[in-house]
Amino acid sequence: MALYSEKVMDHFRNPRNVGTMENADGIGEVGNAKCGDIMKIYLKIDNDIITDVKFETFGCGSAIASSSMATELIKGKPVSEALALTNRAVVEALDGLPPHKIHCSVLAEEAIKSALKDYYDKNGIEYDKKLFPDCEHCDHCCGT
């Protein structure tokens, strides 16, 4: 069996939503201290709906495929659904990742959460702090 699914290869070779965004409503950037990979997510939000999303990922193929799939999963969705997106859902949508690459999908979940937190902060929207791990000092989720 191939190490990477066809979907992973497709999103790695033809990533969706790559780029930056002017006047983004929320920007999130996270990195994995161990591999050094960095992911940045830009969100456009209108009336609580994510109308556009872009990403830049400096990292491995699994991180690029995860970012691409994650952006597809949240585009057009309400903020609450994007907030609930788990790395597991990203992995499932990609038809799996090898065990040692699961942490790459965690980066996508965290980058989206970080961008949503930025959106809440910029707009003075109240939120439960527990929804957001402290990404800058986080070493619990990317170490697998």
Residues with active-site annotation:
35, 104
Distances from the Cα of 122 to the Cα of 95, 104, 133, angstroms: 35, 27, 18
**102 lines the binding site for ligand FES (CB under 6 A):** no
**8 lines the binding site for ligand FES (CB under 6 A):** no
Q: Can you tell me which of 18, 21, 35, 89 binds ligand FES, judged by CB under 6 A?
A: 35
For residues 109 and 69, is the Cβ–Cβ distance under 8 A? Answer: no
Which of these ranges, 3-11, 30-38, 82-90, 116-124, lies near ligand FES under the rule CB under 6 A? 30-38
What does the alpha-carbon distance between residue 63 and residue 84 come to, in Å, rounded to a whole number? 19
What does the alpha-carbon distance between residue 118 and residue 114 come to, in Å, rounded to a whole number? 6
Q: Can you tell me which of 43, 63, 74, 97 binds ligand FES, judged by CB under 6 A?
A: 63
Cβ neighbour number for residue 87 with a 10 Å cutoff: 21
**91 lines the binding site for ligand FES (CB under 6 A):** no
**104 lines the binding site for ligand FES (CB under 6 A):** yes
Which of these ranges, 1-9, 15-23, 29-37, 116-124, lies near ligand FES under the rule CB under 6 A? 29-37
Smallest Cα–Cα separation from 101: which of 71, 136, 60? 60
Q: Can you tell me which of 15, 26, 28, 59 binds ligand FES, judged by CB under 6 A?
A: 59
Six-digit token string for 10: 């497709």
